[in-house]
Amino acid sequence: MSSRVFIDKQSPEAYRALVRTSEAVRAVADEAGLDRTLVELVNLRVSQINGCAFCLHVHTRAALRAGETTQRLGVLAAWREAGLFDDVERAALGLAEATTAPADLPAQDVAYAAARAVLTDAQISAVIWIAVTINAFNRVSVMSRHPVPPER
């Protein structure tokens, strides 16, 4: 296997701009009243879809620090069937999935309608920005093949 360029290290100013975007999105989520656990659930679900091991590692730890349970983290990939997520969480997760696969217009319409039923405009905007941002971080880590450090 050939080594990959860690694009965050190769182009640090571009990466810092992405980090600043993430910080701005965190502020938007806070202003919209989104709980930190919900933000991390969105980050994790998008990272699951994109197969980003490094981001799954980072955001699982962040979710646990924010108070998320191991039970809900364990069933997140099957959130629709699990029965453990409330209407707001389900709307946000659906919207995050639709943002991650925007070419599926019918699914996007369904997700957006579900979000409209329970989320404010500010919350819809924040969830989409969270999904857009984690999608970008996923691509940086997947294309760089950032390793997952072993637990100590």
pLDDT score at 2: 57
pLDDT score at 33: 98
pLDDT score at 138: 98
> Exposed, middle or buried by CB within 10 Å (0-12, 13-18, 19+), for 15?
middle
pLDDT score at 45: 98
Domain ranges of the chain: 14-144
pLDDT along the chain (152 residues), means of 10: 87 98 98 98 98 98 98 98 98 98 94 98 98 98 96 86
93-107: pLDDT as tens digits: 999 999 999 999 999
Choices 1.20.1290.10, 3.40.47.10, 3.40.1370.10, 3.40.605.10: CATH for 14-144: 1.20.1290.10
| Residue 50 token pair | 């994109």
User: How far is the C-alpha of 56 from the C-alpha of 116, rounded, in Å?
Assistant: 28
pLDDT score at 152: 85
Single pTM value for the model: 0.95
